[in-house]
Every structure is written in C-alpha cells, then in structure tokens.
A and B are shown apart, each in its own frame.
Chain A
Amino acid sequence: MNCESESLLEIKDLKIAFKTPEGIFHAVKGISLEVGKREIVGIVGESGCGKTVTALSIMHILPDNSVATGSIDFSGIDLLSLKENETRETRGRDISMIFQDSLSSLNPLMKVGRQIEENLMMHTSLDSRNRFLEVLDIMHKVGLPDPEQTYKKYPHELSGGMRQRIAIAIAIVCNPDLIIADEPTTALDVTVQAQILELLRKINRESNSSIIFISHNLGVVREICSIVYVMYAGHIVEKGPVNKLFTDPAHPYTMGLIKAIPKRDSKGKELFDIRGRVPSIADSIPGCPFEPRCDYAVERCKKEFPGFKKIANDHEARCFLAGDI
C-alpha cells in the first residue's frame, strides 16, 4: 500500500474538552493525524482513551457541552472552523460514520430501508422511485439477501451481522470520501467479524473511500489497516505502518497491547494484561500518562512527557526509551 498518497484528512493539535458541573475534562489532549486518499488508518486504544470523541469531532456532532480546538482539514476545508449547520452538507455525503452497536445506532422504529434512504434524501435530488432502487442496489452491494424484503424490516428483526451491513449501507450510500468506522466489529461474532472486515476492505478497494478504523482490538486492526495510531489517555503515543508496529513496537503501551492478544501457543497459560488501569479523565498527570503502568519507566518519565521520537522514516513514538527497549 502506498503511504505517501495524497492527504484527505489532516488533524492538527486537536484538543477536546467537556464542560461538566464537576469541572472541565480533557478527553483529547492535542493529537495530530493524517489520512491519505484510499487509505485505511487504524486508531487503537482502550475504552475511554478518546477514540470515539475524536471521531465525533470529525463528524462535527460532539455534544453541546464540548469544546474542540485545533484544526481538522478535510480536502482543504477546516471543519472545526465551520459552524454545525455548515458541515451538514459534508456530513453523510463526504464523511460518514459506522457506529459500534448497530442495534442501538439504528432507529428501532424505522424500517431499515428507510434509514438508508434518508441519507439519499438529504444529499441527492433523486425521486423516491430512484432512491428506492438505489437503496436496493446498495443493500445488494453490502451483501444483504433479498433486499426488497429486508427493506421493510425493522432493526430488531435482523441479525447482528445484517444490522451492521445496514449500518455500512447507510455509510456508503452517498459514496463518501471518508468513512469513520467506530468499533464496527466489536459487537459481532468472530465469523461475522471477518465478513464485515472483508466488506470494508472491498468498499475501500472498489469505491476508493478512505477509512478510519477505530478499535480496541489490535488483532482486527492488523487485518485491515495500513497505518496505525495508538492512543492512550487522550494522546497519540505511537504511530507507524501496521507491520512495523507489530514486529517492532516502540512504546511500552503498544508492546503491552500486542502481548495482550491471546495466541494459540498461550493456551493454558495465564493471559497477559497491562497492570494498573487507564487514568481517569479527571486525573492530571504532569509526566507520561502511561508512567504509572509502565515496566520501563525511569525517574524522568514522572515529570516530563516526551514528544515524538522518530524510530524509522514513518514510525514514531512518544517515549524516551523508544527504539531502545
């Protein structure tokens, strides 16, 4: 895959904070990332590290009590500088999103076909007959059997895999440049998971959409992404091409994540887990946020959080010891 491709989305120093009665919480603390055209980029991290919030900020659908600063450049437009209503055109047409749990992300009281059609209603001038045909076509494309019958079904009448295919159909029906898939396979059986991954790969190949693939599961990310960003406590701590990241992880957190993937030869042995817990969003840590859980931490890590250290051409990590462990 070509990593030097033209850039589609460029996030620079994105910070997202939530104002709550208990105070201001910083969910994302200045991240930068880049998605090239036709690329599949992974964002990996434990729950609560800011992955989903980042996705919502790209969509411009963060809750009202949040503030996002920095810049999100999408094909030359800074999305963050626009007002919510000015991004409505882009939303769903140029950038679309697939949510984690298709049972709760689909409207339970609306026929699934109508939910796909709604996207066309918003962004095309097709009449209802043509919209209907378009929906059937896209349902066929995402591998839903008997589109005409499925069109009339409600979400609860479909299986998890079929629902996620509906969610994907909603996302791709307007042929977007960028699809943000937020844990799209987490709620699914392993066999269905593989089918959905294959479908996303096919969409990426055939319709030239870039994909941001958000997951806590490194194994899944390895299957599909070319570039991976590892997030921890609102920061990106490592980024690099997926193969380098797996064979030669530079940040202790990434190492921990890789070790935590169960392997065939680990049968019967105790599974590895990273000790400690993710720092709460309310904690403020002067040094490296991973320091309390890190086996390699030195005195310096407590006071300072290092910037990115280059390990290879396109492989960087925010760790003093990167490349030396």
Chain B
Amino acid sequence: MFVYLKKLFAMILTVLLVSLITFVTFEIIPGSPALSRLGVDAEESQYEALSAELGLNDPLEIRLSRWLKGLFTGDLGISMRYSVPVSELILDRLPVTISLAVMALALIVLIGIPLGIVSAKYGERLPGILITLISQIGMAIPSFWSGIILIYIFGIVLRWVSPGGFVPWSEDAYGAFKSLILPAIAIALPSIASIIRYTRNSIMDQMKSDYVQLALSKGLNLNSVLLRHVLKNALIPIITVLGMIAANILGGAIVIEQVFTLPGVGRLLINAITTRDLPLVQGMVLYIAFIIVVINFFIDVIYTVIDPRIRLGQRV
C-alpha cells in the first residue's frame, strides 16, 4: 500500500512540475492573452480593462497561487476563444478521443500481437519474412495518407460509412462506431506494424533462453512453448510500446482527427495553438502530462502483474 502512496505522490509532483513549467513558459513568451483576444488595433483603454478583468496585472505570486489553486479545484481558467472553461472544453472532446484510443488499441493488440507471434514462429522462413515485409510497408505509410485512402474506398466508393464527422454514442451507438472505425484503423495501421516487429523481436530473443529448451525437453510442441512460456516473458517490451502508443492517441491524434474532421482533443490543441488561446494551450499541456503520468502508472502496475520479480517502482 505504501508503494502506491509513494507512486501517487510522485505522479502529483510530476503534474505539478509540468504545470509550473508551463506557467513560467507563458510568463516568458512575449504577447499577452488580452492582446491576442483584442487584436493589435484595440484601444489602450480596452486593453487595460481586459487585462484587469483577467487578472493579468496582478503580481506574479498572486497569479501563480491562483493557477495552482485552480489546478486542484479543476479550474484551468477560461478559454480566450470559446469563452468557456478550459476543463469543460477538454472534457467535451474526451469521448471522441477515448473512443478512438480504445478502438485503435484493440485493433493493435488483436492484430499486431498474433501476427507478431506467427512471424516469430516462422523466423527466417517465408511466412515470417512476408509478415516482416508487409509490416515494414505499414510503418512507412503515413496515417493521413491511409486515412484518405480509407475515406475514398469505404466512404466514397463503397459508401459503407459517412466520411468524416462524429455522431455521439448516446445518440446512435452504431453510427458512432461507424464514424470512428475508419480513423481508428488509420491510427492503428502503423502501430500494428510496429507492434508486430516488437513482438517478433521480443519473442525471438526469448526463444534463445534456456527455459525454452527445458519446455521443449518436456515434450511440449513449439506452439505450446510459444503461448505458455515465451509470450508472457516477451510481453514487457510490448507493453511498454503499447503504453507509448496509448499516450500518443490520448494526447490527441492530431492528423487523423483533422483528416476525418473529428471533434477530438487533437483538433482542440491545433485550434488552441493557432489562435494563441494561452489558457487553453496551458490546459492542454497539463492534460497531456496527466495522461502520460497516469498511463505510466498503469504500465508499472501491469509489469508487476506479469513479472513477479518486478516490484512497483523498481525493476530488477
């Protein structure tokens, strides 16, 4: 229990540190949120009034303490452009992003890992080389291009799904699924390819271990050795990569959300940056840091479940 508390404390500290860094960064960079909202043609008096209203004229320590207080109460300030609380904006976009992440990860795990196992089983023989080759091509194709191709084939030629846009789950679950499946595939493709390679390499590494020989000497066939002994041992690096992929998608699938015009976190981030919506950018940075910290925590927990030699917070 103590290790969990320690871990939790470390997580809070990390997020706090990130928030301080973002706060300081936005202090240093030139330009003011008030100016960016009013534009350069605004009257001096208008600018002064807005600055006062936003609390921009307060001393640094007041603003810092306000920011930190907001952090703990979930108040990340108000977006300049949308004039709604930043936290509300992010929460609004989360269903799309989380759905995308879950669907893409499911595809990656269900397709990538089995293909990786098969590819490792055949090693340097034809099926293994073939899978490696195809996965290499998969890694080389950028997802915006495969996204466009998918839209063209399934959205325009076959008309199975409507290209782009998002239907909320609560309105029409099947419609929501249909609007997310193509972008999920587009996101998953390159990651499937890299998971195949990681799985293959990790398994082939493990195949050299002595415990494989012992398992074979018991009379197990290669398939049972792979599934019962090797796979679990090979899982640690695969889980690590899956965590990175999950963090990437949850942090906003910027390109794919753009291609499929999905109202996800990625597009919000793009809008925030292009309109210099500083509170929103600040909130987004914090959100991404939070996602990464949380995913890392889960990965650490999964490690300890897989490998009894690993204790939380330390690796043997």
Q: Which residues of A contact B (CB under 8 A)?
A: 56, 59, 61, 64, 85, 88-93, 96-97, 99-101, 104-110, 118-119, 122-123, 154, 156-157, 167, 170
- Tally A-B pairs: CB < 8 A: 75
Q: How far is the CA of A99 from the CA of B216 in the complex (A)?
A: 12
Q: How far is the CA of A186 from the CA of B96 in the complex (A)?
A: 59
- A59 neighbours in B (Cβ, 8 Å): 216-217
Cβ 8 A contact of B214, one of A90, A97, A123, A157: A97
Asked if B211 and A104 sit within 8 Å, CB to CB, the answer is yes
Asked if A91 and B219 sit within 8 Å, CB to CB, the answer is yes
Q: How far is the CA of A110 from the CA of B209 in the complex (A)?
A: 14
Q: A61-B213, A109-B308, A157-B308 are in contact. List 9 more A-B contacts (CB 8 A).
A: A59-B216, A88-B221, A90-B219, A97-B217, A101-B210, A106-B214, A109-B233, A109-B307, A122-B220
Given contacts A108-B307, A108-B309, is CB(A91)–CB(B233) below 8 Å?
no
Asked if B123 and A56 sit within 8 Å, CB to CB, the answer is no
Cβ 8 A contact of B308, one of A91, A106, A119, A154: A154
- A100 neighbours in B (Cβ, 8 Å): 210
Asked if B221 and A85 sit within 8 Å, CB to CB, the answer is yes
Asked if A123 and B211 sit within 8 Å, CB to CB, the answer is no
Report 23 cross-chain contacts, Cβ distance below 8 Å, ordered by A residue: A61-B217, A91-B216, A92-B219, A97-B213, A97-B214, A99-B214, A104-B210, A105-B211, A105-B214, A106-B211, A106-B214, A107-B215, A108-B307, A109-B233, A109-B307, A118-B218, A118-B220, A118-B228, A122-B219, A122-B220, A156-B308, A157-B308, A170-B214
B contacts with A, residue count (CB < 8 A):
22
Q: How far is the CA of A106 from the CA of B216 in the complex (A)?
A: 12
In the complex, whether B69 has a CB less than 8 A from a CB of chain A is no
Asked if B213 and A88 sit within 8 Å, CB to CB, the answer is no
Bitwise interface map of B from 206 to 238 toward A, beta carbon under 8 Å scored 1, else 0: 000111011111111100000011001100000
Q: How far is the CA of A36 from the CA of B83 in the complex (A)?
A: 90
Asked if B217 and A92 sit within 8 Å, CB to CB, the answer is yes
Central interface residue in A64, A107, A123, by most chain B CB within 10 Å: A107
- B123 neighbours in A (Cβ, 8 Å): 64
In the complex, whether B91 has a CB less than 8 A from a CB of chain A is no
Find the B residue at minimum CB distance from A65: B124
- A107 neighbours in B (Cβ, 8 Å): 211, 214-215, 229, 233
Find the B residue at minimum CB distance from A167: B214
Find the A residue at minimum CB distance from B217: A97
The 5 closest A-B pairs by CB, nearest first: A92-B219, A92-B218, A105-B210, A91-B219, A104-B210
Asked if A99 and B210 sit within 8 Å, CB to CB, the answer is yes
Asked if A99 and B213 sit within 8 Å, CB to CB, the answer is yes
Q: Which of B177-229 contact A (CB under 8 A)?
A: 209-211, 213-221, 228-229
